Amino acid sequence: MLRGEVDPKPEIGPQIDALLERQVKPNGRDGEMTNQIESHTQYSLQDKGVSVLLGRDYPQPGDSPLRTASNGAGPGRLVLASHRGPIEYHRGRDGRLEARHGSGGLATALSGLAPLADVAWVASAMTEGDRQMALLHSASKIQLGSGHIRHRFVTLPRHTYDLHYGVFSNPILWFLHHSLWGSLKSPNIRQKMRRAWESGYLPANRAFARAIVEELKGSQQPSYVMTQDYHLDMCPCYVREMAHQAILQHFLHIPWPAPEVWEDIPQEFTAAICQSLLATDIVGFQTAASARNFLLTCEAFLPQVAADYTRAEISWRGHRTKARVYPISVDVDGLRIRMASPAVVRHRERLARLTSRYTIVKVDRLDPIKNVVRGLDAFALLLQRHPELVGEVKLFAFLVPSRRSIPEYREYALQVSQRVAEINARYARNGWRPIEAFEENNYSQAIAGMSLYDALLVNSLADGMNLVSKEGPIVNQRNGVVVLSRSAGSYNELHQGVLGIEPLDVESTSAALWQALQMPEGERRARARHLRKVVEEHDLRAWLDDQLEDLEELAAERAAPLIPAATGMIAS
C-alpha cells in the first residue's frame, strides 16, 4: 500500500466493555537540586558523536534549512518535540555532568534530521542531570553526528511529571493504544485518570507547546513543527493557538486502535485528543490500519467531521488534516558500522561460545505487549515436542527493563524471570541450559546476539512497527529466519520474507520455530536476501525523506498564489 493510502472504511466491531483498574499513587515530592553545576562552555561525550555547546553558540535561523519547496517558498526552522530527547545528563564519578545518548529508539530515529535542517529539539527533563542543566541553560547547541541542533528541556514539577508520564501516558494511553486495557488492575481508575489528565497530561502538553513556540520565534516562514507520539497528543492544539501559520505534523509511533477501544476512557478525553490532532496538517502513522482507525475514531467522537477514506483526509471546522503512513525503519549504514565496533565484536565472540547447534534469539523490552512469556512457552513446547533438540538449541533472550515504577511492568518482569527459571530447571543437562537470559539495556550485546540467530522470534501482541524485526536481517550473518507476529506493524512490509504467526497461539508459534530451524538453506538464503533488500530500500533516511517531502508540499501549497477558477470561484 502506498504512502498516504488508507483501506476502505470497515464496519466497527462490538464494543469492549472490560474495565479493569489500577491503583496509582504518584510521587508528589519535588526534589531540590543541591549540587551546583560547574560552569563550562562545552561538554563532550567521547566515542558517541555527541557534544554540547552552551550559551552563545546557538545556530541561527536558516543556517541549515529544510530543503526549499519547489516553488521557491523560503525555509524556516524545524522544531521536533518528544518526551525523550537525543541526550540525557547524568552525574559522573567526578561529580560533573556528563552527556549520554538518549536511550529511546525514537531519539535515535529523529537524530537523522540533524544534518538536514535548522532543527530545534524540545524534550522532557527526565533525569536530575537534565533538570540541573536546564537551570543553567534554557537551551543549548548539540552536535549529533554531522549536524548541529538546538536542544531545549521542558522542566515540569515532579508531581506534574509523574501524573503525565507515569500515570496518563503510561500505562493508561499505552495500554489503550495497544488494546490491552484489561491488563490494568486499579479500582477507581476513572477518578485517577481524570486527575492525571487535568493535573498532569494537559499541563505538560501546554508546557511543551510554550517551549515549541519559543523556538519558533524569529524563524523564517514556513516553519515546521513535528510532535512525536502519545505523550504529546494535546500539544498540537496549543501550538496552533499560538502559532497559526506553522505547519504541524504529529507522528504516532504506536498503533491507533479501533474507535470502540476509545470508549474505555471518558468521551471528552477522546474528543479532545481527536480535536487536537485535527489541528495539525498531517497526522502520521506506522500502518494504513492505524490511519484508517484514526479517521473512524474522529467520525465516532466528533460532530460534523468529514472523512475522505480515498484521499486519507479529514476536514473539521474548515481545516483539513491529512492522515499519512510512514513506516519507520532503521539506520542500515549505522548498524553495519556498529557491527564492526570493538564492543559488538567482543560480545559476539563471547556469545558464540554459548551457542548450540541451533540458536534462537529474542530481543524485547519487559513490557506486557511484547508477549515474552508466551514466547518462552512456545520455546518450551518446542523442546517438549522435539526432545532431540534438548542440548542442541539455545535461546538467547535479551530483555530490556522497562517502566519499573509501574506495578504491571514489575509483575510482568517477575513472571518472565520465573518462566525462564522453570524452563531451565526442567531441561538443563550436564552443564547445558536451554535459555541464556540477559536482563539489561545493552544494545551492543543485543545486536551481537542477533548476528548469530538461526531463528529470530518477534511475537508481540501489538506493535506500531517493531524495529528488531528490521535490525535482525541487517546484522544477521547466518541467513536466519524471522518468525514475526502478524500484529507487528512491520509485518505489512516484511510478510513475504518471514514466517507469520498469531501472537496468542503458542502452538503455531512453536511450530513456526521448528519450521525455521528445519528450513532448507536455499530457502533461508532467499528469505534473508529479500528482507535485507526491503529494509535497505526503505531505511531510516527514506522514512525521514517521505515526511520532509510532504511538509515541503504543504509549504508549497500555502505559498502558491490564488488563481481564479473557471467557475469564478477562487481555488488555491
Residue 479 maps to a domain: yes
- Sequence-distant (6+) residues with CB within 8 A of 294 are 256, 277, 283, 285, 323
Using DSSP, state whether 109 is helix, strand or coil: helix
**Per-residue pLDDT reduced to its tens digit, 57-85:** 323 333 333 444 343 434 578 999 999 98
Do 254 and 374 have their domain in common? no
- pLDDT given for residue 151 in this prediction: 93
- Sequence-distant (6+) residues with CB within 8 A of 47 are none
Spatial contact of 289 and 7, defined as CB atoms under 8 Å apart: yes
| Run of H or E including 270 | helix 267-277
Residue 57 maps to a domain: no
Do 237 and 290 have their domain in common? yes
Residue 224 maps to a domain: yes
Residue 24 maps to a domain: no
Do 288 and 409 have their domain in common? no
What separation in angstroms does the CA of 388 have from each of 118, 394, 452, 501, 506?
59, 13, 21, 24, 20
- Sequence-distant (6+) residues with CB within 8 A of 404 are 410, 413
Instruction: Name the domain boundary from 284, 303, 325.
Output: 325
C-alpha cell at 264: 474505555
Residue 345 maps to a domain: yes
Residue 378 maps to a domain: yes
pLDDT tens by residue, the chain, 572 residues: 445 444 443 332 222 222 222 222 233 333 332 222 233 323 323 223 333 433 333 233 333 334 443 434 345 789 999 999 888 899 888 988 888 876 555 666 666 677 667 889 999 999 999 999 999 888 888 877 667 889 999 999 999 999 999 999 998 999 999 998 877 766 677 788 999 999 999 999 999 999 999 999 987 778 999 999 999 999 999 999 999 999 999 999 999 999 999 999 999 999 999 999 999 999 999 999 999 999 999 999 999 999 999 999 999 999 999 999 999 999 899 899 999 999 999 999 999 999 999 999 999 999 999 999 999 999 999 999 999 999 999 999 999 999 888 888 999 999 999 999 999 999 999 999 999 999 998 999 999 999 999 999 999 999 999 999 999 999 999 999 999 999 999 999 999 999 999 999 999 999 999 999 999 999 999 999 999 999 999 998 899 889 999 999 999 988 876 544 443 333 32
Residue 428 maps to a domain: yes
81 forms beta bridges with: 122, 227
**Per-residue pLDDT reduced to its tens digit, 249-302:** 999 999 999 999 999 999 999 999 999 999 999 999 999 999 999 999 999 999
Residue 472 corresponds to which amino acid?
Answer: G
What predicted TM-score, i.e. pTM, was given to this entire model? 0.84
DSSP conformational letter for 370: G
Do 179 and 230 have their domain in common? yes
**DSSP-assigned states of every residue in 373-428:** HHHHHHHHHHHHH-GGGTTTEEEEEEEE---TTSHHHHHHHHHHHHHHHHHHHHH-
Residue 437 maps to a domain: yes
Nearest 10 degrees: CA dihedral of 251, 253, 259, 262?
A: -100
For residue 261, give the CATH number of its domain: 3.40.50.2000
Instruction: Name the domain boundary from 293, 325, 357.
Output: 325
Domain of residue 285: give its range: 159-208+219-325
Do 507 and 363 have their domain in common? yes
Do 253 and 286 have their domain in common? yes
Q: What is the mean pLDDT of the chain?
A: 84
Do 350 and 302 have their domain in common? no
Do 337 and 318 have their domain in common? no
Tally of domains in the chain = 2
Do 310 and 392 have their domain in common? no
Do 429 and 290 have their domain in common? no
Do 267 and 389 have their domain in common? no
Spatial contact of 244 and 319, defined as CB atoms under 8 Å apart: no
C-alpha cell at 394: 539455545
- pLDDT given for residue 420 in this prediction: 98
Instruction: Name the domain boundary from 325, 352, 381.
Output: 325
**Per-residue pLDDT reduced to its tens digit, 395-453:** 999 999 998 888 889 999 999 999 999 999 999 999 999 999 999 989 999 999 999 99
Do 342 and 313 have their domain in common? no
